[in-house]
Amino acid sequence: MILENRVALVTGGSQGIGRAIALALAREGAKVGVNFYPGEEERAKKVVEEIEGNGGRAFAVAADVGDRSAVREMVDLLSERLGDIDILVNNAGITRDSLLLRMKDEDWDQVIATNLTGVFNCTRAVLRMMLKKRWGRIINIASVVGLIGNPGQCNYGAAKAGVVGFTKCLAREVGGRGITVNAVAPGFIETEMTAKLSQEAKETFLQRIPLGRPGKPEDVAGVVVFLASSAADYVTGQVIHVDGGMII
């Protein structure tokens, strides 16, 4: 168990990539806060039950990551229940796709609020406890779209490119305090988010993947566990591509 005695917070941890990350961190001994969007408690509770059924420890905690005061309350509650947070995985994310000319103000605002401001809110809320301990792992889930673009996703691509810039700036700020900050950029992973894509879009993505298959949430979770572990002690400010070779 390479993460024994560590406390992790996974945002958007009740399904898809976040769920796989929560389960994988717990399997390695971390106590896991499973964040969920308010009102969506059932799925988060199932993840907690699964972790506890395997002998681990977890706690489901509601907060819209875009809501600053809710995030502060979530972090306070979690540190009371499980201890100070050592590992933060900023995973919560949404898409509101449309071509730019047709993009509604709220589609821009919501995606930036969740996918970019959410990363700022959660990171700032946990950073002080990591600075005190002189140890921390911040892992941000970016996207291939923030690196090479995709038509219909200007809001999403801007937010994810922002996450990459945020990762690099903070890595330089806190490296001297034993805190690493990295991003993982998934390509095409089979989750609820990509289930919405048309068959045509899925096939176009598949043709671009040298490994010849879509990714699984577990493919991303494995890299997150690596970045959270001491095997990655000397890795910071990086963007690790988990995309089957989609961009080489």
**Residue 30 CB, nearest approach to ligand NAP (Å):** 19
Given the rule CB under 6 A, which residues bind ligand NAP? 11-12, 14-18, 35-37, 40, 64-66, 91-94, 114, 118, 141, 143, 186, 188-189, 191-194
The helix (run of H) or strand (run of E) holding residue 199 is helix 199-207
Distance (Å, whole) CA 192 – CA 197: 10
Q: Which residue, 104 or 132, is less far from ligand NAP as judged by CB?
A: 104
Q: Which is nearer to ligand NAP, 182 or 191 (CB)?
A: 191
- 159's CB contacts (< 8 A; 6+ apart) are 111, 112, 114, 115, 116, 146
Closer residue to ligand NAP in complex, CB, 78/131: 78
What is d(CA 237, CA 248) in angstroms, rounded to the nearest whole number?
A: 19
Q: At its nearest, how many Å lie between ligand NAP and the CB of residue 148?
A: 12
Question: Tokens 């401001």 sit at which residue?
Answer: 117
Q: What is the nearest approach in angstroms of ligand NAP to the Cβ of residue 177?
A: 26
Marked catalytic residue, from 59, 156, 188, 205:
156
Q: Considering beta carbons, is residue 42 or 52 the nearer one to ligand NAP? A: 42
Radius of gyration of the chain (CA): 17
CA 214 to chain centre: 19
234 classed as catalytic: no
Q: Which residues are catalytic?
A: 156
